[in-house]
Amino acid sequence: MKQRLSFQKGARPSLPQNVNLEEEFASYTATHSFQEGVLSGVRRLEIRENEVPGSKRAAYSRFVDSMLEDQGRYMQVTVEGGEVAGMAGAPGHSNNPEAQKLYQQGYESMQLGAPHAATTALERALQLDPKWIDCWLLLGNVHLMAN
């Protein structure tokens, strides 16, 4: 799976380490790069065995846990001035009540597993408050979830 996410000028993600898991039954790799304001990520899972014998259960569990940990990892984003998105000094909420309402709807839709509804609400919120970093980050997560 390949993903690309464009950031507003002045924002920069802190990239996680690349992941390379190798077992007889499967392999998993994850790489990330950031160039010219675009975050790119590639994750690849190769299934080598359709069934894993009981003797490999512990290795399989470690493999799955490591893969899920990578997929659930968040990236810290800094903006011009060294502020961290989602932290003090960065816009953690919108001053526009309608944008805040749409953000909440988008978040709830994401939690319910409805990425299309979440995308619609978050894009509308960003039309009202285009510099809202947390909303951009949530929209990026929704796009990742949808794919």
Task: Indicate yes or no: pTM above 0.85.
Answer: no
Q: Where are the domains of the chain?
A: 2-78, 97-146
Selection from 1, 4, 11, 80 nearest residue 38 by Cα? 4
User: What pLDDT sits at residue 27?
Assistant: 97
Could you read off the pLDDT tens digit of each residue along the chain, which spans 147 residues? 888 888 888 888 888 889 999 999 999 999 999 999 899 999 999 999 999 999 999 999 999 999 988 887 777 777 776 554 543 333 457 889 999 999 989 888 888 878 899 999 999 999 999 988 889 988 988 888 777
Distance CA 32, CA 15 (A): 7
Distance CA 13, CA 27 (A): 26
34 and 12 in contact (C-beta within 8 Å)? Answer: yes
3 exposed, middle or buried (CB, 10 Å; 0-12, 13-18, 19+)? middle
